[in-house]
Every structure is written in structure tokens, then in C-alpha cells.
């Protein structure tokens, strides 16, 4: 009797599993079909970038691959159907971009903001390696409709332009014979007509070796000059108060290399207040340095020094367990004169001191502490907070 009951239960479980699996399979097919219908709808409405994401997820379901090929062809053959009408109006103003024997001026059909964002990132060390084109990839189309594969552009200097998500992006450089960026490359990125990024980088077959860069965001202008050493971006960063906006001087119908703005050009034109200067490594979006050689100088908005810190950094914070890190700092808010602390720093907080902290520093005290330090900048202390 017990064996009969056990067999019945087992059979029930098997049937239940089969029924549930069948239901889940039907639901899965239903969801895939809905996703397919959505992708086709987006395609019919010429929202190609959104449609391609759905078709990519669908893999080889029905004719998803055929749609992917259609979208790719549309981007290459008919820029008017690609998603920036403003760009097309500009392209139609002139039969051909200005060009000479050494430089091609083209509208890109394959660059994406993701590719450019990867290239201009100054903080993530993984971004020091770029994508690669295959030789038959169509990289750009000129206004006459002529297509250019990567193979056509080897050893040529090119200016590529495209627009996406409100960004107008201009890339000037060249490709290696493996389809990767090579030599000096310059990128300008504009949002609503205002410059948000200028990056000049040197690549060796797609590997970024050094770069110069300006970011303009959140009311600040940040200039960096760095080289890549052992997976870190090492060098200097200056953070300025942003006194205004740099508007585009580029006319897409008459695109010229000289209209792109270099980081050095921007830095030389900055007259606003320096807010901070950092010397050391960065990685993964943060100040990151345990070499013992990094430092940061933080300024008040009138250019006087608030804090000078020398020591290690982790995820952007003062962080050093050696006991050799130190800072000189004052507080206008608390009406506190410059003081000196040397010891342990843990994610921005001070720990055990390795020498006696000293308050009410005099000029002589400060001079003794910073003597022989290669800060490569004038140390403009606030005399109102130096003890006399």
C-alpha cells in the first residue's frame, strides 16, 4: 500500500514539474514575442538605436538578424535615416566636406558614445585600451554617399563627426593597420553647443600611453596631464572654478581640423580660481596612490591654501597607514590658524599621531615642514591664519 502511494506521489511530482515547465516555456515564448513586436515597432518608427538593443537580445529569433543587418545598412547608406536630423541638415548644406590629400573629413556611421566615452575616460585604467575595427567595417560615409571601410582609412588622418544623445563629437586621428587608434588623437565633445570634454591622447596600436584632458562639469574645469604606468594614470590634475562656457566654433558643413580645441589651449586660457592641484596616480575613478610621493593642495576660492596633504590616497580619500603622511590645514569657518598633523590617516580621518600635533603654526614652522618639497607651484598661505 505504501509503495503504491509513493509511486502515485512520484508520478504526481513528475507531472507537476512537466506542467510548470510547459507553462514557463509558454510564458517565455510570449515574452520573447512581445519583445520582438516592440523591436519591430521601434524599427518602423525609425528609432534604430533602441530597436537594435532589442534585436541584439533576441539573437537569431525569427528575422532579428535580418533587421540588425537592415539597421546597419541604413546607418551606412542613408544618414538621413540615422537618428540626428540636425546633423543631416548640416551635411546637406555642402556637397563635400573640406578635404586635402592627407586628411579626410567624414560623418561617422559606426562610432557610438560608448566608444568615445571609453576613449575620453581619464580614470578607469581599463579604458587605456580601445576597441578595434575589422577591415571590412564601414567606418564612415561622405556626403556623396561613398562608404569608407576601416581598410580605406589605414595611414590616413581623418576627422570623424557624429551626434548622439545631445552630444556632438569630433574625432581627429588615424588608425593602425589592425583597426585600432594610432598616434596622436584629439577628441572634442559638445553638449548643447558647449564643450564638455577635450582629450588629446597618444596611442600605440590602440593602447593609450599618455593623454592631456579637460573636463568641464559641475561648475568646474578639470585639466589633467598623465601617462599610463603599471596600470595607473600617473601625473597631475588641476581643478579650476569654471568661469564660463566654451561654445563650439565648428561648422559641420565646413569641418576643419583647426576648429577643434586642444586641452592645452583651454588651460592656457583659464583665468578662474584654482581650487585644487593633485599630483599622483588615479585609478577606477579615484585618486589612488600608495607610493609616498602623492600630494594635494586645496585652495579657498580666493586662491589661498586651505589644506596641503602629502601621503597616500584610496578611493579619493586621505588614506595612509605608514605614519609618514601629514597635512597642514586651517579653518576659516572655525577661525582656526594653520595646524600640523603627522600620523595615520584612514579614509579621510586622522588616527594615531606619530609626532606631536602642532597648532598655531608660524611662518618659520611652515617653512621648516615644506622645505625641499618639489610642489612645482607657489604656496600661497593665508597670512590671516598664520600665528604671529
**Per-residue model confidence (pLDDT) at position 126:** 44
pLDDT of residue 373: 84
Q: What is the pLDDT of residue 46?
A: 62
Query: How many CB atoms are located within 10 Å of the residue 37 CB?
Result: 11
Task: Read off the pTM.
Answer: 0.66
**Domain residue ranges of the chain, discontinuous segments joined by +:** 2-77, 85-232+240-271, 273-388
Is the CB of residue 222 less than 8 Å from the CB of residue 276?
A: no
Residue 302: strand, helix, or coil? coil
Which residues make Cβ contacts (< 8 Å) with residue 164, sequence separation at least 6?
49, 83, 84, 112, 113
Burial of 386 (0-12, 13-18, 19+ CB in 10 A): middle
The radius of gyration of the chain's CA atoms, rounded to the nearest angstrom, is 29
- Print pLDDT tens along the chain (388 aa): 544 544 455 444 444 434 334 434 444 445 566 666 777 777 677 665 566 555 555 554 556 556 655 655 554 444 333 334 333 333 333 333 333 444 555 555 444 444 444 444 544 444 454 555 566 667 676 666 777 777 777 777 878 787 777 888 888 888 787 777 788 889 899 988 888 899 999 988 888 899 999 988 777 889 999 998 887 888 999 999 876 777 777 766 666 777 888 999 888 888 788 999 999 998 877 899 998 899 999 999 899 999 999 999 999 999 999 999 999 999 999 999 999 999 999 998 888 888 888 999 999 999 999 988 888 778 899 999 999 8
Give the pLDDT of residue 89.
37
Q: Please report the pLDDT score of residue 175 as a whole number.
A: 78
At a CB cut-off of 8 Å and minimum separation 6, what does 108 contact? Answer: 139, 140, 160, 161, 162, 171
Residue 243 has a pLDDT of: 64
- Strand, coil or helix: 116: helix
Cell numbers for 9: 506521489
Q: Which residues, other chains included, contact 149 with Cβ-Cβ below 8 Å and sequence gap of 6+?
A: 135, 136, 137, 138, 139
- Grid coordinates 592656457 are at which residue? 268
Burial class of residue 91 (count of CB atoms within 10 Å of its CB; 0-12, 13-18, 19+)? buried
Amino acid at each position: 500500500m505504501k509503495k503504491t502511494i509513493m509511486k502515485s506521489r512520484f508520478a504526481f511530482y513528475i507531472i507537476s514539474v512537466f506542467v510548470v515547465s510547459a507553462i514557463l516555456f509558454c510564458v517565455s515564448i510570449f515574452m520573447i514575442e512581445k519583445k520582438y513586436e516592440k523591436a519591430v515597432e521601434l524599427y518602423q518608427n525609425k528609432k534604430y538605436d533602441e530597436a537594435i538593443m532589442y534585436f541584439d537580445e533576441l539573437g537569431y529569433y525569427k528575422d532579428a538578424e535580418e533587421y540588425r543587418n537592415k539597421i546597419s545598412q541604413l546607418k551606412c547608406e542613408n544618414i538621413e535615416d540615422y537618428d540626428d536630423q540636425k546633423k543631416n541638415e548640416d551635411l546637406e548644406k555642402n556637397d563635400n566636406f573640406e578635404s586635402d590629400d592627407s586628411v579626410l573629413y567624414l560623418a561617422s556611421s559606426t562610432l557610438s558614445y560608448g566608444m568615445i566615452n571609453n576613449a575620453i575616460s581619464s580614470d578607469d585604467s581599463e579604458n587605456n585600451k580601445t576597441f578595434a575595427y575589422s577591415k571590412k567595417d564601414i567606418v564612415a560615409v561622405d556626403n556623396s554617399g561613398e562608404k569608407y571601410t576601416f581598410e580605406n582609412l589605414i595611414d590616413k588622418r581623418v576627422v570623424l563627426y557624429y551626434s548622439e544623445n545631445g552630444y556632438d563629437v569630433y574625432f581627429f586621428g588615424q588608425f593602425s593597420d589592425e583597426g585600432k587608434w594610432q598616434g596622436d588623437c584629439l577628441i572634442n565633445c559638445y553638449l548643447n553647443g558647449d564643450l564638455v570634454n577635450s582629450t588629446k591622447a597618444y596611442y600605440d596600436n590602440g593602447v593609450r600611453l599618455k593623454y592631456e584632458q579637460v573636463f568641464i562639469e559641475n561648475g568646474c574645469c578639470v585639466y589633467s596631464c598623465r601617462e599610463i604606468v603599471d596600470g595607473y594614470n600617473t601625473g597631475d590634475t588641476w581643478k579650476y572654478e569654471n568661469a564660463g562656457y566654451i561654445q563650439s566654433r565648428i561648422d559641420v558643413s565646413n569641418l576643419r581640423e583647426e576648429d577643434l580645441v586642444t586641452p592645452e589651449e583651454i588651460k592656457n586660457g583659464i583665468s578662474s580660481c584654482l581650487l585644487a592641484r593633485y599630483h599622483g596616480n588615479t585609478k577606477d575613478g579615484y585618486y589612488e596612490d600608495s607610493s609616498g610621493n602623492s600630494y594635494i593642495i586645496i585652495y579657498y576660492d580666493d586662491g589661498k591654501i586651505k589644506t596641503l596633504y602629502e601621503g597616500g590616497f584610496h578611493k579619493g580619500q586621505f588614506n595612509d597607514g605608514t605614519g609618514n603622511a601629514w597635512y597642514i590645514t586651517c579653518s576659516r569657518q572655525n577661525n582656526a590658524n594653520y595646524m600640523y598633523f603627522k600620523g595615520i590617516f584612514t579614509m579621510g580621518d586622522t588616527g594615531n599621531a606619530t609626532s606631536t600635533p602642532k597648532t598655531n603654526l608660524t611662518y618659520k614652522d611652515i617653512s621648516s615642514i615644506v622645505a625641499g618639497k618639489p610642489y612645482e607651484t607657489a604656496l600661497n598661505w593665508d597670512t590671516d591664519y598664520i600665528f604671529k
